[in-house]
Structure 1
Amino acid sequence: MANFFKRLFAKEDPSVYQKKDAHLIQVLTVKDFLALGVGTIVSTSIFTLPGVVAANYAGPAVAISFLVAAVVAGLVAFAYAEMSSAMPFAGSAFSWISVVFGEFFGWIAGWALLAEYFIAVAFVGSGFSANIRGLLAPIGFNLPASLSNPFGTNGGIVDLMSLVVILLVAFLLSRGVSEAARVENALVILKVFAIILFIIVGATAVKASNYVPFIPEHRLNADGTHFGGWQGIYAGVSSIFLSYIGFDSIAANAAEAKNPSKTMPRGILGSLLIAVVLFVAVALVLVGMFKYSSYAGNAEPVGWALRKAGHGVIASVVQAIAVFGMFTALIGMMMAGSRLLYSFGRDGLLSKWLGVLNENNLPNHALFVLTVIAVILGAFFPFQVLSQLISAGTLIAFMFVSLGIYALRPREGKDLPVPGFKMPLYPVLPALAFIGALIVFLGLDIEAKEYSLYWFIIGVVVYIVYGMHHSNLQKNLK
């Protein structure tokens, strides 16, 4: 039994990762990571969540919900920036926690993130499908229900558009990160233009009366959720936090960064700052244009608000750009997810086939597996409930990384390099980051917590049954 626990808490040597990831080509710059981060964080949700959360939870105070969520995300981002600067390895939280706390804990953090990537890719793919079909319908292009919905949903067999867009992004990534980065950069510029266009045009229709009262009086809804007051703002934070988790996709690609000690912190913190400004501005303009209750049950509040204010052409332009901007979120999530799977294969925790690089030093085996699973989830299965795992799994990884700073600091300048960025106000901020992520996690609904527990149990079983017996680290201990 003592040997079992010794193996469970065994820590990976960071030099092993440095050698294994050395074959990955370091081509990504700060500009690329800013585009990757903004493209992943500022995805479909910026055009939907501000209206939904305002109507269901916070009223005009939705802007406060976005700010509070941003503060928590920012604290965690500081921890991510230091970790990625000291340990620029593929796999982000999985690799870092394996070094500072041990392989088992690294596996749990990585396993939690894996749920995020599988489901998020499928989620965005389905969102792209619904929106592109909505744009094409006015010109007479309509797919039959069998090719528009997941299997067993409204007469569906396969969501064809979701399948096609995921395969297209996979093909782009299989050709190299440089090509993907160029596409990402161009699409992110377009998407930010569309958001700024909405803010400028929408601001002309803002009425001060729509902000009163800014924090509506609290009430308990029939379904047990809170609206108004600080309770509603808190409920909004947990719903909104999903928007900010994309900076993990930057960290997952750290092994392919030029000068990672400077590139990674700037990419992570810079993209989050840009995203916060855009989210808060959209939220304030949206609730200022029309009473927050107008957005109840509205799947496209930004487009609706522009059309209602007499800007139909602008609405079409913004929505069209938003649809193609979803490519940016897919690129970011699929890059990060494939690097995480590569890391599992690299370390022997899953099939070593996943850790094989092709002749161009790309982890295309891992990309292939991620693509197949995402296509199955997005094209064939309805997954509204499973989407709860996206926030829950990521918050668990965030808590690990925040606490990991305490184990990292004593090793900096010894077996780990002194990072180009250090989390300020140590040792206070790492604790605040952990507590903030925990509070947001506790604010998730009960289904999210239940599904994260089931996923955790499956992960532990996989590690004990397979990972522990095939891990490179464990083999070296024998």
Structure 2
Amino acid sequence: MRQLFTRMLQKEDPSVYEDKDSHLKRVLGVKDFLALGVGTIVSTTIFTLPGVVAADHAGPAVALSCLGAAIVAGLVAFAYAEMAAAMPFAGSAYSWINVVFGEVFGWIAGWALLAEYFIAVAFVASGLSANLRGLLASFGLVVPNALANPLGHNGGVMDLIATVVILLVAWLLSRGVSEAARVENILVVLKVLAILAFIAIGLTAIHPSNYTPFIPAYHVNADGSAFGGWKGIYAGMSTIFLAYIGFDSIAANSAEAKNPEKTMPRGIIGSLIVAVILFMAVSLVLVGMFKYSAYAGNAEPVGWALRESGHRLAATVIESVAVIGMFTALIGMMMAGSRLLYSFGRDGMLPKTLGKLTAKKGQPNHALLVLTVIGVIIGALFPFDFLSQLISAGTLIAFMFVSLGIYRLRPREGKDIADPAFKMPWYPVMPALAFIGALIVFLGLDIQAKLYSGVWFVIGLIVYLVYGMHHSVLDKKK
């Protein structure tokens, strides 16, 4: 038994990852990572979650839910920035934890993130599909239920639009990171302009009485969740947190960053700051335009608010740009997910073919293909609202590992790990605050999300014990 634990706690040499990832081309700069981060964080969620959280949990105080989630995400982002600057390897938390804590903990963190990427690809594609169908319906074009919904839901056979957009983004990424980054940069600018246009127009339709009371009286909803008071703000914070987890997609691509010591911190922290400002602004404008209860069960609150306030043309234009802009989140998630799968294959934890790069452009297209197929299957079987509950849990587990990992990283910086130009401030207090914050948000998730994350954890442990541990490159080396 002692030998087993010793084997599981073996740590990878960081120089090995540097050598393995040297075949990935360092072509991404600060603007590319800012676009990747903003595009992933400011995605489907900004057009849906503020209205949902206001109606279900926080009322006008939804902006405080956004701010609370952003503070926790910001604390973790500082830990991510130092890790990415010190160890710019593909696979983000999986590779870092493998180096500082050992293989089994790296596997647990990576396996948790893998669930996020599998689900997030299907989630974002389903959200894009729902918004596009709503836009087409305003022109009298209705997609049949059989091709609009997942199998067995409301007469559905498959969500055709979701499937097509996943395949389209996979094709784009297979052509190379530079091409994808150029498309990402353009689409992010368009999406941010659409959000700013909504804010500007919405400000002209605000009724100050809708902000009173700003924090409604606390009560329990019919489903047992909290509404109003600080408990409602906390429930909204846990719900809206999934909007901010996109900065992991930046870190997952750090092996392709130019000058990662500067590029990674600026990309991670900069994109989060932009996202927080936009989320809070959209939230405040939405609840100012109409009473928060009007957004109950509303899947497109931004477009609805504009139409109901007499701005039908603006609603159509902004929703059109928003749908196009949602491709940015899909690009970010599929880039990051394929790099994580590549890392598993690189280390022998999953079949080695996943760790192979194309000869011509050095892309992990085998890993991309597996991610694409699984994303399509999940999107074909599960509806949008179900997927939204499952994304945050796995990421929060990885966030807790990374926050604690700073304590193991610092003593090794300048020795066998590079001494990075950026370091998490207020050490050793801030890493503890980041861990506690992530834990608090995790505890606020609904019971179903926790249950499914537990099931996924057990499956991952079985895969590791049956396959990964015996095929690991680290094991063969030792």
TM-score (norm 1): 0.98
Range moving further from structure 2, 83-92 or 133-142: 133-142
8 Å CA contact 2:126–2:384 kept in 1: the answer is no
Residues 382-437 of structure 1: CA deviation (Å, up to 9, x unaligned): 36435422100000000000000000000000000111210000000000000000
Partner of 1:95: 95
Q: What SS does the aligned partner of 2:386 have?
A: coil
> Which amino acid in structure 1 is aligned with residue 406 of structure 2?
I
Partner of 1:394: 395
8 Å CA contact 1:257–1:263 kept in 2: the answer is yes
Cα distance in structure 2, aligned partners of 1:145 and 1:299: 17
Question: Residue 25 of structure 1: CA displacement?
Answer: 0.5
Cα distance in structure 2, aligned partners of 1:158 and 1:292: 33
Alignment of 1:77-476 (within 5 A): 77-359=77-359, 360-382=361-383, 384-476=385-477
Cα distance in structure 1, aligned partners of 2:45 and 2:384: 17
Task: Give unpaired runs (5+ residues) of structure 2.
Answer: none
Residues 100-146 of structure 1: CA deviation (Å, up to 9, x unaligned): 00010000000000000001100111111122122223444333222
Cα distance in structure 2, aligned partners of 1:131 and 1:252: 28
8 Å CA contact 2:344–2:350 kept in 1: the answer is yes
Q: What SS does the aligned partner of 1:418 have?
A: coil
Cα distance in structure 2, aligned partners of 1:284 and 1:383: 25
Alignment of 1:26-37 (within 5 A): 26-37=26-37
Cα distance in structure 1, aligned partners of 2:456 and 2:50: 29
Residues 288-315 of structure 1: CA deviation (Å, up to 9, x unaligned): 1111111111111111111111111111
Cα distance in structure 2, aligned partners of 1:143 and 1:218: 41
Range moving further from structure 2, 390-399 or 296-305: 296-305
Cα distance in structure 1, aligned partners of 2:369 and 2:357: 12
Question: What is the aligned-residue RMSD (CA, Å)?
Answer: 1.0
8 Å CA contact 1:386–1:451 kept in 2: the answer is no
Range moving further from structure 2, 318-327 or 136-145: 136-145
Cα distance in structure 2, aligned partners of 1:306 and 1:141: 21
> Which amino acid in structure 2 is aligned with residue 326 of structure 1?
M
Cα distance in structure 2, aligned partners of 1:69 and 1:143: 36
> Which amino acid in structure 1 is aligned with residue 281 of structure 2?
A
Q: Taking structure 1 as reference, are residues 210 and 143 closer, same or farther at Cα in structure 2, changes over 3 Å only?
A: closer
Q: Taking structure 1 as reference, are residues 309 and 142 closer, same or farther at Cα in structure 2, changes over 3 Å only?
A: closer
Residues 299-335 of structure 1: CA deviation (Å, up to 9, x unaligned): 1111111111111111111111111111000000000
TM-score (norm 2): 0.98
Partner of 1:22: 22
Q: Taking structure 1 as reference, are residues 383 and 475 closer, same or farther at Cα in structure 2, changes over 3 Å only?
A: farther
Partner of 1:49: 49
8 Å CA contact 1:159–1:380 kept in 2: the answer is no
Question: Residue 94 of structure 1: CA displacement?
Answer: 0.1
Cα distance in structure 2, aligned partners of 1:58 and 1:147: 35
Give identity over the alignment, percent: 75
Cα distance in structure 2, aligned partners of 1:52 and 1:140: 26
Range moving further from structure 2, 346-355 or 371-380: 371-380
Range moving further from structure 2, 156-165 or 242-251: 156-165
8 Å CA contact 2:150–2:383 kept in 1: the answer is yes
Q: What SS does the aligned partner of 1:17 have?
A: helix
> Which amino acid in structure 2 is aligned with residue 183 of structure 1?
V
Cα distance in structure 2, aligned partners of 1:155 and 1:223: 26
Q: What SS does the aligned partner of 1:215 have?
A: coil
8 Å CA contact 1:41–1:245 kept in 2: the answer is yes
Cα distance in structure 1, aligned partners of 2:306 and 2:132: 19
Cα distance in structure 2, aligned partners of 1:271 and 1:383: 25
Cα distance in structure 1, aligned partners of 2:122 and 2:67: 28
> Which amino acid in structure 1 is aligned with residue 57 of structure 2?
Y
Question: Residue 379 of structure 1: CA displacement?
Answer: 2.7
Residues 150-185 of structure 1: CA deviation (Å, up to 9, x unaligned): 111122111111111000000000000000000000
> Which amino acid in structure 2 is aligned with residue 167 of structure 1?
L
Residues 181-227 of structure 1: CA deviation (Å, up to 9, x unaligned): 00000000000000000111100111211111111111122221111
Range moving further from structure 2, 289-298 or 67-76: 289-298
Cα distance in structure 1, aligned partners of 2:408 and 2:373: 37
